[in-house]
Structure 1
Amino acid sequence: MSEPLASWSEFNVAMVGATAALAGLLIVAMSVNIAEIMKSVTLPPRAASSIAALVLAITASAFGLIPGQPVAAYGIEVLVATLLAGLFQVHAIRVVMREDFVSPLDRVLKSIAGVLPVAAFLTGAVLVIVGAAEAGLIAMAVGSVLSIVAALLMAWVVLVEVLR
């Protein structure tokens, strides 16, 4: 593990465990009401984007624990994972933006929570790739925390909306 990544190993170990546990709990919680969730147009993509945000945090943290890995390789791995998670977010945004009964401001607010972690990881990956490893790793740490917050917010919305 390269020196910049080595100093983040404890954070990465903690994030892998925490986000994996949370992702599992969210999947179980959502599966209880999956029939109701699937009746909605917007809830399935939002649920998928919340889980994708957690998987991004898990993936980025796990890649950060690979021994002997060059920092630039880590940046590329996180960039690829971010782009894949971003696809789920883009799909969720597109679905939310087509909602007829929601104001434009509400549409934007519904989309921001999922965009923030992806943007933080994207920024971090690019910074790591171009050689600003410490700044990039900090941005990715912020992305990890934002992924948890965004996933919890989106999951809460999904679970509450099912009961309306």
Structure 2
Amino acid sequence: MAESLEAWTDFNVAMVGATAALAGLLIVAMSVNISAIVASPALPARAAASIGTLTLAIVVGAIGLVPGQPGWAHGLEVLVALVVVLALEVHAVRLITAESGRKPSERAAKILSGALPLGPFVVGAALLLVGAPAAGLAWLAVGCVLAIVGGILFSWVALVEVLR
């Protein structure tokens, strides 16, 4: 596993830095329109899930930098962090589906943008647990990139769409 992780060091360092910066910017973006965000039934939960997903990407990148850990431990660590974020996402999905006045396609897009990044993290952690580190780390990388995309999309919502 050490050789596999070593190959991902630069990626993990870049992801931790970029994702941490984006998470901070998202929090600042939310503070600009906080009254509009908290007035919405689903936006606070979506914000929590988005920050949770970015935090998951930070955690995944950071634990990928821990030297000498076995693959199963890395997979288990990802799963533990993932459970918390999944709980946040499930709560957001419940509130999104309860929204009235929205087209089903709009609700589906909101759900997909929040939930999509979590799938690769599940697959990656499972592959690490079963002893397939190369594939597992690649899936975790996909999850990290999708977390950034989702974070950027929600930043747009928190800054612009909330005011429409």
Q: Could you state the TM-score of these two structures normalised by the residue count of structure 1?
A: 0.95
Matched residues in 2 for 1:125 and 1:137: separation?
8
Shift of 1:105: 2.2
For 1:122, the equivalent position in structure 2 comes to 122
Amino acid across the alignment from 1:24: G
Matched residues in 2 for 1:66 and 1:30: separation?
32
For 2:52, the equivalent position in structure 1 comes to 52
Matched residues in 2 for 1:84 and 1:153: separation?
21
Matched residues in 2 for 1:36 and 1:137: separation?
39
Higher relative contact order (CA 8 A, sep 6+): 2
1:4-62 Cα offsets, whole Å, 9 max, x none, are 11111110001000000111111011112212211111111111111111101000000
Which runs of 5 or more structure 1 residues have no equivalent in the other structure? none
Matched residues in 2 for 1:161 and 1:71: separation?
41
For 1:22, the equivalent position in structure 2 comes to 22
For 1:33, the equivalent position in structure 2 comes to 33
Q: Match of 2:134, SS? A: helix
Amino acid across the alignment from 2:125: A
* Contact 1:4/1:71, CA 8 A, preserved across alignment: no
Matched residues in 2 for 1:111 and 1:95: separation?
10
Matched residues in 1 for 2:41 and 2:159: separation?
14
- How many percent of aligned residue pairs carry the same amino acid? 56
- Residues 1-164 of structure 1 mapped to structure 2, 5 A cutoff: 2-164=2-164
Paired residues in the alignment total: 164
